C-alpha cells in the first residue's frame, strides 16, 4: 500500500517521497487510518518498523486540516520519549516530513540550557518532543501550559517506565488537556505498560504487527557459550575470522565498555564507545565515525544506545546479557530493520544461563548454540539441567528486580563452587 492511498496533503507526500519512502510498513498501514479517525491507539511496534512515520504523518495532516496560530507557552502536540537521543531522532524525522509546511517543532531534553528552552517554550510551538524529566521541570517552573495539547504520544513507553519516569508521566498526564487523543507505542508489554495504557487510553485501536514481546523474523539469533573472562578474546576472533564490519556491542556497565574498547583497539579492531559519562559531542562523533565506517565496533550501554538510528546495521552482539529479558528485544531491534537481514549474537557465561532461559521463554523460541573449539564451558550442560529442574517445582512469584535476582543467583552458584573446591582440597583422615 502506498502513502497516496490515505489522501495526505501534497506537501506531506512530497516530503515523504524526498525521504525515499514508497510502500507503507505494516504498522503504518494499521495505525494511520485509526489515528486519522481520531481514535486512541495502542501499538506494538519495535524500532525499525516505521513507527515514527506511523504517528507523525497523520498528526501533521491533522494540523494541516485544522490550522490554528501558535499559542504562547503552549503546543498542540506533545511527544514523550525515554532519551534525548530518541527525542532528537523523532524531531528530525518530523522536520523532514514537515519541510514544506509552516509547522514548528521544538525539542526539550536534559543537557540543554534551560533558559534557552524556556524562551522557546514561551514562544510556543505546534509540536513539542521531550523527555519526561526535563518537561516536568519546565512545567513546575511555569514555562509552559499543556492545556492546548490535542494529541499526546508516548514513544517507546516501556523504556520510559523502565527508566523510572512513571511518576513524571503521571504528573504530566494530570496537566495535559483531558479531551486529547492518546497514542502509545511500545516494543514490549509489561504489566506496568498495560497499567499505563488502561489509565490513559479510551477504547483504543490495537495495532500489532508481531506477537507481543516478539522479535523480527529477519533477525537470526545465535548463542556462543563462553567463560566470562574469555568473552573479549572470542569477540576479537569472530570479528576477525568472520570479517564482521559494522558491529554494535552491548556491555552491562560503563566501566566494562571502556575496558572492552581499549582491548579491542589493542587487538587492532578500531572501536569507539557511547555511554552516559561521555559528553554529548563525543557520543555524536563516535556514532558518526561508526556510520561512516571509520570505526568498526561501537560499544554501548543499554540506555546510551536508545534512539541510535543506524541504517543497515547487520550485527548486534550481547557481550553481556541484559538483566531484564525484555531488554533483549530492544537491543536486537537495532538490526534486521526495514525487512533487511540481521544477526543477534549473545555471549553467555555459565552465570547467565538463567537469564538466557528467561529470554527464550519471552521470545518463544530456542536459540541455537555454537560451541567454538577452545572456548568450551565446563559443566555447562549440568548447570542447564539444574536450572530446568528448579523451574519444574512450580513457578514462584517473579521478583520485581530481576537485576537483584540475577546477582543473588550468581552469588549462590559461586558459593557452591567454593564449597566444592574446599571439599576437594581437604586432606582425608587416615582410617
Residue 397 in any domain: the answer is no
The phi-psi region of residue 397 (left if phi > 0; otherwise alpha if psi is between -120 and 50; otherwise beta) is beta
Residue 422 lies in a domain: no
Cell numbers for 397, please give them: 512469584
How many whole angstroms separate alpha carbon 413 and alpha carbon 406?
11
374: pLDDT confidence band, cut at 50, 70 and 90?
Answer: confident
Mean pLDDT along residues 74-92: 92
Residue 427 lies in a domain: no
Residue 164 has a pLDDT of: 82
195 and 97 assigned to the same domain: yes
CA distance 363 to 353: 16
Residues 195 and 225 in one domain: no
Q: What is the pLDDT of residues 384-410, one digit of tens each?
A: 665 666 665 544 444 444 445 555 555
Summarize the confidence of residues 300-322 as an average pLDDT.
Answer: 80
pLDDT at position 426 is 58
29 and 123 assigned to the same domain: yes
Q: What band does 128 get if pLDDT is binned at 50, 70 and 90? A: very high
Q: Is 311:318 a contact under the CB 8 Å cutoff?
A: no
Summarize pLDDT for 167-208 with one digit per residue, the tens: 999 999 999 999 999 999 988 777 888 899 999 999 999 988
d(CA 315, CA 326): 19
Sorted by sequence, the CB contacts under 8 Å of residue 289 that are 6+ apart come out as 272, 295
| 412 belongs to a structural domain | no
Find where cell 516501556 sits. Answer: 158
- Are 175 and 45 within one domain? yes
Domain coverage including residue 96: 3-208
pLDDT of residue 402: 47
379 is a domain residue: yes
Of the residues 176, 208, 240, the one at which a domain ends: 208
Clarify whether residues 22 and 112 are in a common domain: yes
CA distance 133 to 142: 14
Position 270 scores a pLDDT of 93
Q: Read off the pLDDT of residues 104-115 as tens digits, 9 standing for 90 and up.
A: 999 999 878 899
Query: What CATH number is associated with residue 178?
Result: 3.40.50.300
- Which residue, among 200, 257, 226, has the nearest Cα to 345 in the 3D structure? 226
Q: With CA atoms as reference, report the closest residue to 332 among 236, 237, 210, 227.
A: 210
Longest dimension (CA), the chain: 97
Residues 244, 340 share a domain: yes
Q: How far apart are CA 180 and CA 396, in angstroms?
A: 41
**Mean pLDDT, residues 345-356 taken together:** 93
In a domain, 288, yes or no: yes
- The residues pairing with 369 across neighbouring beta strands, listed in sequence order, are 223
120 and 18 in a single domain? The answer is: yes
d(CA 155, CA 163): 13
In angstroms, the first-to-last Cα distance of the chain is 85
Amino acid at each position: 500500500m502506498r502513502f497516496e492511498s490515505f489522501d495526505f496533503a501534497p506537501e506531506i507526500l512530497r516530503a515523504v517521497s524526498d525521504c525515499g519512502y514508497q510502500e507503507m510498513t505494516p504498522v503504518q498501514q494499521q495505525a494511520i487510518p485509526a489515528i486519522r479517525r481520531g481514535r486512541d491507539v495502542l501499538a506494538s511496534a519495535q524500532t525499525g518498523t516505521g513507527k515514527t512515520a506511523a504517528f507523525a504523518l497523520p498528526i501533521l495532516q491533522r494540523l494541516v486540516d485544522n490550522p490554528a496560530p501558535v499559542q504562547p507557552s503552549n503546543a498542540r502536540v506533545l511527544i514523550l520519549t525515554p532519551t534525548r537521543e530518541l527525542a532528537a531522532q523523532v524531531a528530525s524525522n518530523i522536520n523532514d516530513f514537515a519541510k514544506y509546511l509552516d509547522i514548528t517543532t521544538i525539542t526539550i531534553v536534559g543537557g540543554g540550557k534551560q533558559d534557552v528552552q524556556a524562551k522557546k517554550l514561551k514562544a510556543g510551538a505546534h509540536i513539542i518532543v521531550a523527555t519526561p524529566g526535563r518537561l516536568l521541570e519546565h512545567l513546575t517552573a511555569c514555562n509552559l501550559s499543556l492545556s492546548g495539547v490535542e494529541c499526546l504520544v508516548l514513544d517507546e513507553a516501556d523504556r520510559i517506565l523502565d527508566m523510572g519516569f512513571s511518576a513524571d508521566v503521571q504528573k504530566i498526564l494530570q496537566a495535559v488537556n483531558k479531551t486529547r487523543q492518546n497514542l502509545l507505542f511500545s516494543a514490549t508489554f509489561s504489566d506496568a505498560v498495560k497499567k499505563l495504557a488502561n489509565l490513559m487510553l479510551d477504547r483504543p485501536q490495537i495495532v500489532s504487527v508481531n506477537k507481543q514481546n516478539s522479535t523480527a523474523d529477519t533477525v537470526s539469533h545465535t548463542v556462543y557459550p563462553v567463560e566470562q573472562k574469555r568473552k573479549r578474546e572470542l569477540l576479537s576472533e569472530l570479528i576477525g575470522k568472520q570479517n564482521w564490519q559494522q558491529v554494535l556491542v552491548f556491555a552491562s556497565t560503563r566501566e566494562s565498555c571502556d575496558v572492552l574498547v581499549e582491548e579491542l583497539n589493542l587487538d587492532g579492531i578500531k572501536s569507539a564507545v557511547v555511554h552516559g559519562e561521555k559528553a554529548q559531542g563525543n557520543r555524536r562523533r563516535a556514532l558518526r565515525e561508526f556510520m561512516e565506517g571509520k570505526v568498526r565496533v561501537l560499544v554501548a550501554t543499554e540506555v546510551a544506545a536508545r534512539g541510535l538510528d543506524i541504517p543497515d546495521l547487520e550485527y548486534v552482539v550481547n557481550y553481556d546479557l541484559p538483566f531484564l529479558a525484555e531488554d533483549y528485544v530492544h537491543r536486537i531491534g537495532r538490526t534486521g530493520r526495514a525487512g533487511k537481514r540481521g544477526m543477534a549474537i549473545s555471549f553467555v557465561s555459565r552465570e547467565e544461563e538463567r537469564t538466557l532461559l528467561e529470554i527464550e521463554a519471552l521470545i518463544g523460541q530456542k536459540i541455537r548454540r555454537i560451541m567454538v573449539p577452545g572456548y568450551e564451558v565446563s559443566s555447562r550442560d549440568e548447570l542447564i539441567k539444574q536450572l530446568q529442574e528448579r523451574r519444574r517445582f512450580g513457578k514462584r512469584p517473579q521478583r520485581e528486580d530481576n537485576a537483584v535476582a540475577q546477582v543473588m543467583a550468581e552469588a549462590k552458584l559461586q558459593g557452591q563452587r567454593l564449597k566444592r573446591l574446599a571439599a576437594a582440597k581437604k586432606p582425608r583422615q587416615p582410617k
